[in-house]
Structure 1
Amino acid sequence: MKYLILIYSNPESRALWEKFTPEERASGLGAYEALDAELTASGELVESEALDDAAKGKRVHVTEGGTLTTDGPFAEVKEYLVGFYLVECVNLDRAVEIAAKVPEAFMGLVEVRPIVDLAALA
């Protein structure tokens, strides 16, 4: 089964990151590299990406008159999606185990969501 592990950031986590020394930042990024390597070795990693600043994105709205876009950020939220892991593993418990290794998990900024198998719905 596939699961999406969503990684969020907020002003508190951003301020913490900005206070880190270069060595602490390297260690934090190393945690992601280690998790990527672990999941690649186990065959559970489908994809892992960091997302750029929400302000650099576009919101798309299609109307009868055409396509409208607006600049981000897109919603009044306290947390922004900053990255994800798409994993394929045996069950939700394993996905949660993986998510617990994401550095932001200690701040409660990680979410696990199952992926819907659309072929099974047809």
Structure 2
Amino acid sequence: MINDLKKSLNIEYETDFLKIAQLYYLKYGEYQYYNKLKKYFEINLKPSGVHKRLFSLLPNLIVTTNWDCLLEHTATEEGLTYDVIVNDVDLVKSSYFHKIVKMHGDFQHYKALLHKYVSI
């Protein structure tokens, strides 16, 4: 995926993956960026044993850069309630002590964004 982003940006020697992703986002915008990510990442995955073990620790806060919804699904399966924070508005609305903070958003919210653009 990084090589694809680099090719689109015509930057051959950059090695900082986060910088490459940010440059792509800035040049092509949020919609194109999410479409590119969707091309490389499976959206319909199932939680693994690792996810279940993580929640067996009953963490108050989980911070992730993952785009999938495996953490939320695992919490639900385990009967736990967590607020999912993907932006500032979510943080303000948050009422639960337990939170999953998704630093870069997620595909579920991408779908809402897509519908927003399509309905304009």
TM > 0.5? no
TM-score normalized by the length of structure 1: 0.23
Q: In proportion to residue count, which structure has more helix?
A: 2
Q: In proportion to residue count, which structure has more strand?
A: 1
Higher relative contact order (CA 8 A, sep 6+): 1
TM-score normalized by the length of structure 2: 0.23
